[in-house]
Amino acid sequence: MNPYYLKISTQFIDILKVNYLEYSQEIVEKKVIAFLSNKENLVLLNLVSNGRGRSYWGQQHWMETRNKMAYCYLYYWRQGEFPKSFDRTSLLELLDIEEMLQNYTYNAQTRGFLIAFYWKILKIKYEQNILKEDILSPLSLAPLLNKMQFKSPYIDWIVLCLLFLVQEKGQKEVMFLLERKEFFLKEILQKKMTGLLGYAATIQEVWPFVPSQKIA
């Protein structure tokens, strides 16, 4: 099996990809409740509900729901069981990554959190010797991202490509390529196809592999 593929609820991934300001409260609430209503996720419902009714989890509070569900998954990947309480401190690094990436994407996009969440699980898999290569924190990409002269709604894909490129070339060489505005995506695809396909399968997106599509 592709080590970069993560088996995660498709409904949860859908929540992480959502641009919540573009959706009405009703639609956002339906997305969250669709996840929480799944029988396989009842244990998460018990954790995130805090005794509140489902009407609480709407547009105003779904970011809190998202964070708690992400914590459940991270805890499960590390411990092999779901937690019995919520520890927000374990998510601080992910939230820092999301905040940093907001400078390079549009408001209300949550793909910064999506790639941070994905990266954290890859780190756990590396610590468990499931993944052979370590992967740098997206926070280390700030100098490279500063070379971007545009914002992208798909910042997760840009970050993943940069992480793989730095893994292959080193940050100084990547900085050189960015300063010269050289096109290097083809090289990444050739050497890191397993990782890119693993991420595509995890979040159920194939458009980056369609020649007519762009990530800017």
Residue 58 lies in a domain: yes
Residue 216 lies in a domain: no
How high is the pLDDT of residue 159? 95
Q: What is the pLDDT of residues 175-203, one digit of tens each?
A: 887 777 665 656 666 778 889 899 999 99
Residue 1 lies in a domain: no
Q: Is the pLDDT reported for residue 58 higher than 70? A: no
Q: Which pTM does this prediction carry?
A: 0.85
Domain count, the chain: 1
Residue 194 lies in a domain: yes
- For residue 125, the enclosing domain spans 10-209
**How far apart are alpha carbons 73 and 32 in whole angstroms?**
16
Residue 140 lies in a domain: yes
How high is the pLDDT of residue 20? 63
How high is the pLDDT of residue 23? 67
Q: Is the pLDDT reported for residue 5 higher than 60? A: yes
Q: Is the pLDDT reported for residue 45 higher than 70? A: no
Place of tokens 């894909």: 157
**How far apart are alpha carbons 103 and 106 in whole angstroms?**
8
Residue 215 lies in a domain: no
Residue 121 lies in a domain: yes
Residue 119 lies in a domain: yes
Q: What is the pLDDT of residues 98-135, one digit of tens each?
A: 999 999 988 767 899 999 999 999 999 999 998 888 88
**How far apart are alpha carbons 77 and 82 in whole angstroms?**
9
Q: Is the pLDDT reported for residue 160 higher than 90? A: yes
Task: Point out the least confidently predicted range of 38-47, 70-79, 129-138.
Answer: 38-47
